[in-house]
Amino acid sequence: MAIWIYAEHKNGQLKKVTLELLSEGRKLAGQLNEELAAVLIGKDVAALAATLGEYGADKVYLAENDALENYTTDGYTNVLAALAKEQQPAAILLGCTVQGRDLAAQVAQRLGTGLCTDCTGLELADGRLVFTRPIYAGKAFVKAAVPEARPAMATVRPNVLGVTAPQAGRSAEVIKADAQPGDIRQVIKDIVCQISTRPELTEADIIVSGGRGMKGPENYKLLDELADVLGAAVGASRAAVDAGWVPQSMQVGQTGKTVSPVLYIACGISGAIQHLAGMSSSKCIVAINKDPEANIFKVADYGVVGDLFEVVPLLTAEFKKMLD
């Protein structure tokens, strides 16, 4: 019984989380002596199958159809659920992205199976997949499994699993899958893209984030300057979003994006539990806050008690010197 990875892609590129899932899936499939398959859905996406093979897929189920050019809940659910019903995989893993969360919930419901969401680890115990997921906004971790129903499904947080090096020339068997999208109730009228040279928040290795302590939208340029030197993405707390200083797409936390960068620099953020829920799995947290009692210092690896309007420009200048 195979392990399946949902191959999420955007603008003709596989998302990094797809490569992370393939790398982890390859290890698990090897331990189980089962095959690893990727499911690739879209329009004119066949070229991505080569990369999926190099990163470990034994098979690629390719479902191409003009009506699948853009992601729709109905179209992609119909295709993935029908394929899973036909092929009966042991597990389906998706990225815990906006698309992955939406699709996983629909497909799990359609298949009548269990879904573990927002996982940060996968392992095998007695031949069964066991998922680690944070609870209580990251204060504790629980291990969960889908006991009987199959496939066991999970969404996995981007940036927590590593990517193994691709094997040049390794290829996957490409199987054309039934790509009938059925009735699609969603109508996509327009796609508005935000043009940015910065990495996407959920995939960034470094995030510089600002909260109410930024005092106003004009001061985010301080964070932009630091982010530009570090090649980082810029995030925000909900207080900053609610104040209308920055767009909601920048919000990190329980009702915003979940991020796991290598480095998260929190500037003028108090560390409310709802904010921590979205960033506490960052590998290294640096907090800059003028209140030594701020909650953020409880999760920070490094803390600077000070005025961000002094500290951030100093950091930018120092990093510039180091990186020039």
Give residues in contact with ligand FAD (CB under 6 A).
Answer: 211-213, 237-240, 251-256, 268-270, 272, 274-275, 278, 288-291, 294, 307-309
Phi, psi of 23 (to 5 degrees): -65, -45
Does the annotation place 128 within a ligand binding site? no
Residue 153: which H helix or E strand, with range? strand 152-156
Does the annotation place 13 within a ligand binding site? no
Closer of 113 and 155 to ligand FAD (Cβ) = 155
3-class secondary structure per residue, 257-285: ECCCCCEEEEECCCCCHHHHHHHCCCCEE
Does the annotation place 170 within a ligand binding site? no
- Least Å distance, CB 311 to ligand FAD, is 7
Nearest to 274 by CA among 259, 293, 256: 256
Does the annotation place 254 within a ligand binding site? yes
- Least Å distance, CB 7 to ligand FAD, is 28
Closer of 51 and 202 to ligand FAD (Cβ) = 202
Closer of 42 and 211 to ligand FAD (Cβ) = 211
Does the annotation place 113 within a ligand binding site? no
Does the annotation place 255 within a ligand binding site? yes
Closer of 65 and 274 to ligand FAD (Cβ) = 274
- Least Å distance, CB 78 to ligand FAD, is 32
- Least Å distance, CB 277 to ligand FAD, is 7
Closer of 176 and 298 to ligand FAD (Cβ) = 298
**3 state SS of 11:** coil
Distance CA 285, CA 209 (A): 11
Distance CA 1, CA 33 (A): 9
Does the annotation place 253 within a ligand binding site? yes
Closer of 18 and 237 to ligand FAD (Cβ) = 237
Cβ(113)–Cβ(146) below 8 Å: yes
Does the annotation place 91 within a ligand binding site? no
- Least Å distance, CB 307 to ligand FAD, is 4
- What tokens does 319 get? 């990093």
Does the annotation place 235 within a ligand binding site? no
- Least Å distance, CB 164 to ligand FAD, is 32
Phi, psi of 143 (to 5 degrees): -105, 130
Cβ(103)–Cβ(202) below 8 Å: no
- Least Å distance, CB 194 to ligand FAD, is 19
Closer of 150 and 290 to ligand FAD (Cβ) = 290
Q: Is the N-terminal amide bond of 151 cis, ω within 30° of 0?
A: yes
Cβ(167)–Cβ(60) below 8 Å: no
**73-87 and 98-111 are packed helices; what angle lies between their axes, rounded to 10 degrees?**
50
Task: Pinpoint the alpha helices (H) of the chain.
Answer: 16-32, 48-54, 73-87, 98-111, 220-230, 238-242, 273-279, 296-299, 308-323
Binding residues: 212, 237-238, 251-255, 268-275, 289
Binding residues for FAD: 212, 237-238, 251-255, 268-275, 289
